[in-house]
Chain A
Amino acid sequence: MPNVTYIALIPLLPLAAFLILGIFGRKYFKNTSGIIATALLLISTLLAVYTAYGYFFEYGKVDGIYQKLIPLKYTWLQFSEGVSIDMGIIIDPISVMMLVVVTFISLMVHIYSLGYMKGDDRFPTYYAFLGLFTFSMLGLIISSNIFQIYIFWELVGVSSFLLIGYYYDKPSAVAACKKAFIVTRFADVGFLIGILILSFYSNTLDFNKLIERLTTPESNELKNAVAASFLGISALTWGLVLVFIGGAGKSAMFPLHIWLPDAMEGPTPVSALIHAATMVVAGVFLVARLFPVFSISSPNALSLVGYVGAISALIAAVIACTQTDIKRVLAYSTMSQIGYMMFALGVSKYGGEDGLGYTASMFHLFTHAIFKALLFLGAGAVIHYIHSNEMKDMGGLRKYLPITHITFLIACLAISGVPPFAGFFSKEEILLAAYQNNKTIYWVALITSGLTSFYMFRLYFSIFWGRTRPSSFKRDCDEVKGEGGFVMMLPLVLLAFGAATAGFIPFGHFISSDRITLENKFHLMFSISPVALGLTGIIIAMWMYKKENNKPEKFAAMSSGLYKAAYHKFYIDEIYIFITQKIIFNLIARPTAWFDKNIVDGMINATGEGTKEISEKIKTFQSGKIQQYAICFLVGLISLALLFIYVWK
């Protein structure tokens, strides 16, 4: 293995960007901050690509197995013998793949933002936050220690918080960033407790050792972890489920998804980077990282992952069909696609052909990152042009935004699983894996894939076809020239190229559950039904939305109950508000504060008051006559003396 410590530079360069721009940006780099950050990230990206090339084609494979390499490791905080947080770098197929994805998408977003955020008065801050995010996300990917991943997990959470709340004078953005942080924080507590459980039984925090100890059937650690149980479920399963809750929070899985749609309050490039392509797949990445433990030692926890993923995929797809804010549609679509990745892991088994779901999941993560980032950036171009997120303000934009239109169409085709675009290949693999292992999930997935193409093309037709509404964008027509120029179009074109061709990468060669090359098999017969369903979805969307008509309203009226429920996101937000406002605030916090003020403090004050009362009563003993005191004193003294002399000798 060659010396690959330069990998540490990949996350550190964006960190440098964060520090430089965060501290000096406002003063010295008012206009050049974008260029600086982009240049640094470009170096990172090149390094990441170089790493990937080296790993996959030169030194990564030994005896047909991709190695898990740890080129760097420092003990950061030693808790006890064997248990320590190490800051390390792990290089294995998934982390290398993610390195490329994250740096590439981040670079695209950096470039795109040069145009999109131009003229914003907090331009350096924006790039500083992007740098912080990229650093944390890259750190998360290369974490070699479960606590290290938790650290970066929190850091991506906070950078997401900062970026969602970027337009800080908008109350809705402030509410959204708070919500995102608190919901994911809640899930992170699960993650934390999961870490505590796993580390207790495996007596390590290091990923490699942890996985090894908890997957070897003879190991004492595994035996103890399985033997200990709480509420009839083994400690190991508890630990994994809790870790998965953390992942579900970050990946916006049902029922912890409520923050994701609101997170769209952030700038659109941020949504593309964080809330579509990279951070939200951290949960998938986490499950994939611990996949051997899940699949070998605790299939129950893994099947939970599968069902949660499937439910999320379906629910999100249904909701997406009814939303009118284009970014929210995309947000729900993201959630749905991440659901795909999750259940693909959930239905997978460890090793060989059975591990197809794992490969498929990672493949979908890869392709999804590309086409979803493209969709968001395309939506950003639209929003940049029209200054509105609402579908009703749009229509007929294909004449005004030709490049955006084409690239958006490619992305829509990719996400709908139309061959030969990228989404087709990854989705087909996922469906195949589901079909082989769990029929229920397979049917759910199939329906979802039909819905996906429907809502994506509903979006597409509503934006780019139909009647133009000049009223909505005449306002800023002079100021906005075309599609935002080269810097905004370059990422779109590059990503569109990726979305069109990424599917041809033989992913199984590089990534598989046991890190042994997996041959891609193509099942023509099998892919007929999903593709047919996808096309049906597209046709229905075309029929309903290509020309303006009243079909959508009719349809909505027809399925009134379901439509209304889906439009209101199945009232999950309301349930959360009920729980937080009514129960936690009114039934816990308020009584606690009252109790403190009146009972606990009351007792203290009562002690004080009581003392005062008593002294008020007994102070009349004091007459103020000194000589009287002196006589008392003398009498007392003499009687004590007498007592000591005669009685208590």
Chain B
Amino acid sequence: MNITLLILLPLLTAIVILLMQNATQVKWVSMMGATLQFVLAFVLLFSFYKERQLGNTSQMLFELKYNWFPSWNISFHFGVDGISVAMIMLTAFVVIAGVLVSWNVTKMTKEFYFLLILLSMGAYGFFISLDLFILFFFLEIAVIPKYLLIGIWGSGKKEYSANKLALMLMGGSALVLVGLLGVYFSASIHSFDLITLSLLHIPIQTQLICFPLLFVGFGVFTALFPFHTWVPDGHSSAPTAGSMFLAGISMKLGGYGCLRVATYIMPEGAKEYASIIILLSVIAILYGAFATMMQKDLKYINAYSSVSHCGFVILGIGMLTKTSIIGSVMQMVSHGLMTALFFAVIGMIYERTHTRQVSEMGGLLKRMPFISTVLFIVGLCSLGLPGLSGFIAEMTIFMGSWQHPDTFRRVATILACLSIVVTAVYILRAVTKISMGPLKDEFKNLTDATWNEKLAALILIAGILAIGVAPFWFNDLVSPGAEIIMQKISPITIGIK
């Protein structure tokens, strides 16, 4: 199949949205666009499987290349492997759910949906790009709509949050750009092409400078400690769909970049800095978890827990074993689905109770059984219940991390394991306080989820269950991609202490 459809379809949807006359039309057009994306993602998944079954073992499938700026060796070079397909699936799930939960947006509906769809285009473009310049281009496309989504449709101190988010992410992308240029100019063939670069040997000195630039740059997106503070503020101010996109898609751009760009083209750098990465990620995991315990606002709880969960992504990458990298991809997808669902539920609760303070809620299970059940499921997924995706991802990362026999990594793994208790503490405190206990008087007349909210929740739950109950297909999908990355890392002997 032609994977540029993944970019063209959202683009077309966005244009059609701009032509629409009223809010209802806008909504249905976006819904149709999102559904088509969803279908397209599945078509991609199945044709990917089919290709692989037919024995196509090339690294990237469905490759396409159009020259764009030949003198600089920049081209539209697209292609997917298992990791990108996984991320595309995630994006499609989150987009359709995001469109569904925003059904009640009344303020500037057209612009809102336009930005949502534009953001999804950026994400798809990012995940299928094999040219680093184009990849960077789509990364930027995915940032700007977020700024507007928070700044216009947000709540609370939205201007502050929007600025903070945009500036920190822009700072991150600036680092990425500098790193990319460094790689570009130091490689023996000046090229932005990922595949070309991966076959070259980037000089060690360049790697030592550019790897941290790229890794930290992408790390900002995925809430690398200590550049994570945009996460709580950004998420808490964003509208529901904004938070979902932010946590479900944008944070994954960073993780994907760390893995696909930084680690893949500069494996020596990755090995050299592995211990620092692990240290930062363990700090993020525990620190995020403990900080979450003290939060009172639901969105802050989920945002800080995202910091903790995204720490696992970084940990998996930092451990540099095949299993841990697979786990890291799983964690990205799992966290994307789960946290999108969590924000969706928070949005549903907030729309009804008009508060996000955990202490002000109670007994909602009685009035809103569906929403509370979803809250339970997402909470349990977050704390790693088997059968839901979080468990699979975390366990894979742990198993991968444990393959290193040295004490430092062992201790890091054990500390990361301990975080699952802390996670259980804060999740249960929040979830039980909200949905259990005596029902407060002011909530006597609340209503349960509407059709669009139910549909959104069910779609995301289906994704969570698909990974949680049957992880083998996901493992098969991702593992060749991880294998290729490992082939570059394994022969290197420097940096292991």
Binding site for B on A (CB under 8 A): 26, 75-80, 83, 147, 150-152, 154-155, 158, 165, 168-169, 171, 174, 177-178, 181-182, 185-186, 189, 192-193, 196-197, 199-200, 585, 588-590, 592-593, 596, 600-601, 603-604, 608
Query: What is the bound-complex CA distance between A155 and B420, given in angstroms?
Result: 15
Within 8 A of A (CB), among B306-336: 321-323
Neighbour of A181 across the interface among B164, B384, B424, CB < 8 A: B424
Contact indicator A79/B323 (Cβ below 8 Å): yes
| A255 vs chain B, min Cβ distance (A) | 16
Interface check B182, CB cutoff 8 A:
no
Collect the chain A residues with CB atoms within 8 Å of residue B438's CB: 169, 171
Collect the chain A residues with CB atoms within 8 Å of residue B435's CB: 168
Query: What is the bound-complex CA distance between A579 and B363, given in angstroms?
Result: 29
Contact indicator A196/B424 (Cβ below 8 Å): no
Given A154-B391, A608-B167: A168 and B365 interface contact (C-beta under 8 Å): yes
Contact indicator B291/A77 (Cβ below 8 Å): no
Which range contains the number of B residues in contact with the other chain? 35 or more
Most buried by A among B395, B429, B439: B395
A75 closest partner in B (C-beta): B472
Given A196-B413, A589-B293: A165 and B436 interface contact (C-beta under 8 Å): yes
Given A178-B429, A589-B290: A169 and B472 interface contact (C-beta under 8 Å): no
Interface check B287, CB cutoff 8 A:
yes
17 contacts between A and B (CB under 8 A): A78-B472, A78-B475, A79-B396, A154-B384, A165-B432, A177-B432, A182-B428, A186-B421, A189-B417, A192-B395, A192-B398, A196-B413, A199-B402, A200-B402, A585-B294, A600-B225, A604-B230
Neighbour of B436 across the interface among A154, A168, A592, CB < 8 A: A168
| B375 vs chain A, min Cβ distance (A) | 13
Collect the chain B residues with CB atoms within 8 Å of residue A193's CB: 414, 417
Collect the chain A residues with CB atoms within 8 Å of residue B164's CB: 604, 608
Collect the chain B residues with CB atoms within 8 Å of residue A152's CB: 386
| A620 vs chain B, min Cβ distance (A) | 24
Contact indicator B168/A589 (Cβ below 8 Å): no
Contact indicator B436/A189 (Cβ below 8 Å): no
Further pairs besides A80-B321, A196-B417, A608-B164: 13, Cβ < 8 Å: A75-B472, A77-B471, A154-B384, A168-B436, A169-B437, A169-B438, A174-B436, A181-B428, A199-B399, A589-B294, A592-B291, A600-B229, A604-B164
Neighbour of A155 across the interface among B163, B383, B386, CB < 8 A: B386
Contact indicator B428/A77 (Cβ below 8 Å): no
Smallest CB-CB A-B distances: 7 pairs: A593-B294, A151-B386, A168-B436, A592-B290, A589-B293, A601-B229, A196-B402
Interface check B387, CB cutoff 8 A:
yes
Interface check B203, CB cutoff 8 A:
no
Collect the chain B residues with CB atoms within 8 Å of residue A171's CB: 437-438
Within 8 A of A (CB), among B131-165: 163-164
Collect the chain B residues with CB atoms within 8 Å of residue A165's CB: 432, 436
Given A169-B439, A178-B429: A189 and B421 interface contact (C-beta under 8 Å): yes
Query: What is the bound-complex CA distance between A147 and B425, given in angstroms?
Result: 23
B398 closest partner in A (C-beta): A196
A602 closest partner in B (C-beta): B229
Collect the chain B residues with CB atoms within 8 Å of residue A174's CB: 432, 436-437
Query: What is the bound-complex CA distance between A154 and B421, given in angstroms?
Result: 13
Interface check B403, CB cutoff 8 A:
yes
Contact indicator B472/A182 (Cβ below 8 Å): no
Contact indicator B421/A182 (Cβ below 8 Å): yes
Neighbour of A169 across the interface among B226, B363, B413, B475, CB < 8 A: B363
| B124 vs chain A, min Cβ distance (A) | 28
Given A168-B365, A174-B436: A603 and B418 interface contact (C-beta under 8 Å): no
Interface check B73, CB cutoff 8 A:
no
Interface check B369, CB cutoff 8 A:
yes
Neighbour of A178 across the interface among B369, B400, B432, CB < 8 A: B432
Contact indicator B428/A178 (Cβ below 8 Å): yes
Collect the chain A residues with CB atoms within 8 Å of residue B420's CB: 185, 189, 192
| B378 vs chain A, min Cβ distance (A) | 14
Interface check B247, CB cutoff 8 A:
no
Interface check B194, CB cutoff 8 A:
no
Interface check B196, CB cutoff 8 A:
no
Collect the chain A residues with CB atoms within 8 Å of residue B229's CB: 596, 600-601, 604
Neighbour of A585 across the interface among B293, B384, B436, CB < 8 A: B293
Query: What is the bound-complex CA distance between A83 and B164, given in angstroms?
Result: 45
| B474 vs chain A, min Cβ distance (A) | 9
- 1/0 per position for B437-465, CB-CB distance to A under 8 A? 11100000000000000000000000000
